[in-house]
Amino acid sequence: MKMTPRERVIEAMSLRKPDRVPLMCQFSIGAMMQQLKPSPAEFWYDGRLFSVGLADLCERFSFDGILVSLHGHSPQWRDEILSIRKIEEGKEEVVFKDRTEIHSWNDLPMVKYNNKIEKKLIDDIDLSRDVPDFIDYIPVSQDLYFKVDPQYPFEIFGYLRELVGDKYSIHGEITSPFDYLLDLLGYEQGLISLIMNPEKCKKILEKFTENIADLAEKMCDCGIDAIKISSPFAGMGFISPEHYSEFVLPFESIIISRIKAKGKFTYIHTCGHIDDRLELMRDSGSSGLECLDPEPVGNVDLANAFSRIGDSMFIKGNIDSVNTLLFADDIKAYDDVKKIIETGMKGRGFILSTACSLAPKVSSQRIEMLHKMVEDIGYYQ
Amino acid sequence: MDSYIDKISFCIQKGKIDSKSPYPPEMKGEPGADELTMEALRDGLNANDILTKAMIPAMGVVGELFKEKKLFVPQVLMSAKAMSSAMHHLKPYFASGELKQKGLFIVGTVAGDLHDIGKNLVSMMIEGSGWSVMDLGVDVKSEQFIEAIRDNPGSVLGMSALLTTTMESMERSVREIKSIYPQQKIIVGGAPLSSDFAKRIGADFYAQNPQTAVEYLGNIK
């Protein structure tokens, strides 16, 4: 029996085989911009426009689900802006009191602060003053933040359901406490602090964990099916498995158990090399894993990953967005994706997706190819 | 005297900065690279021997272990700090000309890209291998790279990009630089890059990790 896109994704996340392999790639902001060509500043700040874009892209490329990577858009987003001007086609400058942002169709906004942001030393961090009592920002990238309006934290999910009804699986996204810790201290000091002041790190992580879990629980009440936990600095490129066990696993596990208690699925997204810690990631209790970057971006072999953790976790991945979708010729792109679909179909729960986000300049034709392929070769018997 | 060489090398490999540093826990209270280098110089050990027999090889070991994913960023950062604390005592020898850097490495994150984690790590490792590093920062335009090359003939240039979109500005910069300075050696690195990409844009070398950049520099001088 033919399933709806939403049913298909839920079935895979439940470690059962749907009618066919679900397809659900996460778009980078740049990829959305390249496809939609909106006013880049408005697209970043306006929740309605952002949700229309997400729904449009999902329909356009026949994906089975939508990841909402930003939430908490403020309807009053223009109030703090001193000026906004178009620099050229697809490029806008937005000036605030403390910073200037360049928004473009190319990628994430670039922010230049009037005064350099000084990070506090870990010994000077006051838990009650310096670690927020609730999460009102998303650390999107280095020195790039998305402010979460506490009055409208989850309006975007309502907008989306209005647009797509029950047809698609909608997923929210939160950021790992480990990421918030590194952002608070600065990446260099943050990583050094893991060995110089581990106990203080854990206290900071505990507070972030509690607040992120609160946020995630509330997000669960917004008609979503799953929450992605973005944890980009938890891979082999940064920390050891021992540090993963000490500073990532216990804290993400708490959040995961609280999300699962609300009846929702979770998946962890860690880019790059993660092969040495797949079992640790499974021990978090997460329903699934995303990314699993293959060589050369990462070091995960999909078949091997399924054999190690596939009995208890679904896998969402693992197309190399750069070397397969962006730079490869048609034959290599097709062959790479075919191999992933065939391997994934042997596993219990599998969603076809890019490992990391779709790179901005991946062509429409390449994205369309993915749906054609799951239709051609992705049906289970 | 050899015991100083061994001890300084060991401290750098272990990331032991000084006696006050609590890391690594098993060396708590013991002197670190800082005190040992100072003592070694006071006891008449040759500065060049400290640099070339202790410090540089120690960072080489660290880089190799990092490449093999047996050491991770926090430990590497501690080793770089220990190296830096030892290097501080060698400054007068560099100033007097008794010690010389192997060369100048100019580095920057390309235009449109504000990420500096990878660039900083590479800079530390290259500095630890005996090179002088000129860090141009992030969002570096082609003209800034060109100006730095013009002012520092014989230097090697390193470029970093973390985003697929800024790989385009990397390509632009490499082509512009090579059109003016065809002999200029350029190393590129960053998560989405590959050796194929480096070759295609005309760069001389793709450094998959800091240690391969160090090895490349070691081979061209």
Mean pLDDT computed over A166-175: 98
Which of A188, A320, A325, A363 best tests the B interface by mutation, with the highest count of B CBs <10 A?
A188
Residue closest to A259 by CA, chosen among A181, A171, A182, A180: A171
Domain ranges of chain A: 5-74+120-377
What tokens does B131 get? 């090179």
CA distances (Å), A67 to each of A225, A229, A341, A367, in order?
10, 12, 21, 16
Section A106-127 average pLDDT: 92
Domains of chain B, CATH where assigned: 2-96 (1.10.1240.10), 104-220 (3.40.50.280)
Measured at the CA of A191, the angle between CA A187 and CA A192, to 5 degrees, comes to 120
Q: Do A194 and B208 touch (CB under 8 A)?
A: no
Q: Which residue of B has its CA nearest to A143?
A: B114
Q: What is the rounded average pLDDT of the residues A152-166?
A: 96
For chain A, positions 103-132, list CB contacts with chain B under 8 A. Answer: 106-108, 110-111
- Tens of pLDDT along A6-60? 999 999 999 999 999 999 999 999 999 999 999 999 999 999 999 999 999 999 9
Instruction: Work out the average pLDDT over A135-143.
Output: 92
- Give the torsion sign (CA, A343, A361, A99, B106): positive
The secondary structure of chain B, three-state, reads: CHHHHHHHHHHHHHCCCCCCCCCCHHHCCCCCHHHHHHHHHHCCCCHHHHHHHHHHHHHHHHHHHHHCCCCCHHHHHHHHHHHHHHHHHHHHHHHHCCCCCCCEEEEEEECCCCCCHHHHHHHHHHHHCCCEEEECCCCECHHHHHHHHHHCCCCEEEEECCCCCHHHHHHHHHHHHHHHCCCCCEEEECCCCCHHHHHHHCCCEECCCHHHHHHHHHHHC
Whether the CB of B197 is below 8 Å from some CB of chain A: the reply is yes
pLDDT at B2 over 90: no
The enclosing H or E element of A319 equals strand A314-319
CB A78 within 8 A of CB A44: no
Q: Note whether A106 contacts B208, CB cutoff 8 Å.
A: no
Express each pLDDT in A235-271 by its tens digit: 999 999 999 999 999 999 999 999 999 999 999 999 9
3-state secondary structure of A238: coil
A240–chain B Cβ distance below 8 A for any pair? yes
Contact B160/A at CB under 8 A: no
Q: What percent of chain A has pLDDT over 90?
A: 96
Residue A290, CA distances (Å) to A278, A353, B124, B139 in order:
11, 8, 32, 30
Closest CA of chain B from A162, distance in Å: 33
Nearest to A26 by CA among A298, A288, A255, A360: A360
For A171-181, what is each residue's pLDDT tens digit?
A: 999 999 999 99
Q: What is the pLDDT of residues B81-134, one digit of tens each?
A: 999 999 999 999 999 999 999 999 999 999 988 888 899 999 999 999 999 999
Q: Work out whether the CA dihedral A65, A293, A279, A189 comes out positive or negative.
A: negative
Q: Is A232 on the interface with B (CB under 8 A)?
A: no
Residue A261 distance to chain B (closest CA, Å): 35
- Which residues make Cβ contacts (< 8 Å) with residue B179, sequence separation at least 6? none
This model of the complex carries an ipTM of 0.91
- Which chain B residue shows the shortest CA-CA distance from A242? B72
Q: Is the pLDDT of residue B221 over 90?
A: no
Interface subset of B 18-37, CB within 8 angstroms of A: 21-24
- Please list every residue in chain A whose beta carbon sits closer than 8 Å to the beta carbon of residue B14: none
Determine the pLDDT at residue A143.
85
**Has residue B1 got a pLDDT over 80?**
no
Please answer yes or no on whether A196 and B22 come within 8 Å at the CB atom.
yes
How confident is the model over A81-95, as a mean pLDDT?
97
The CATH number of domain A5-74+120-377, selected from 3.20.20.210, 3.40.50.300, 3.40.50.20, 1.10.760.10: 3.20.20.210
Only one residue has tokens 């999107």, namely A140
Predicted pLDDT of residue B164? 86
Tell me the percentage of chain A whose pLDDT exceeds 70: 100
Q: Is pLDDT above 90 for A367?
A: yes
> Does A202 contact chain B (CB < 8 Å)?
no
Hunting for tokens 């927020």 — which residue is that? A132
Q: CB distance B73–A238 less than 8 Å?
A: yes
Per-residue b/e over A51-74, b at no fewer than 16 CB within 10 Å?
bbbbbebbeebebbbbbbbbbbbb
**What average pLDDT does the segment B170-181 reach?**
96
Chain A residue with CA closest to B72: the answer is A239
Average pLDDT over residues A87-107: 96
**pLDDT tens for each residue of A189-240:** 999 999 999 999 999 999 999 999 999 999 999 999 999 999 999 999 999 9
Q: Look at B120 and A30 and tell me if their CB atoms are within 8 Å.
A: no
Averaged over A162-168, what is the pLDDT?
A: 97
C-alpha A266/C-alpha A220 separation (Å) is: 11
Closest CA to B159 of B103, B201, B215: B201
Interface residue of B65, B72, B109, B110 to substitute, partner A, most A CBs within 10 Å: B72
> How far from chain centre, in Å, is Cα A90?
24
Of B24, B73, B114, the CB nearest to A142: B114
Q: Are A147 and A131 in contact (CB under 8 A)?
A: no
DSSP state of A224: -
Task: Give the pLDDT confidence of A264-302 residue by residue, as tens digits.
Answer: 999 999 999 999 999 999 999 999 999 999 998 899 999
CA distance B209 to B195: 12
Q: Are A194 and B74 an interchain contact pair (Cβ–Cβ within 8 Å)?
A: yes
Average pLDDT over residues A136-163: 95
A353 and A362 in contact (C-beta within 8 Å)?
no
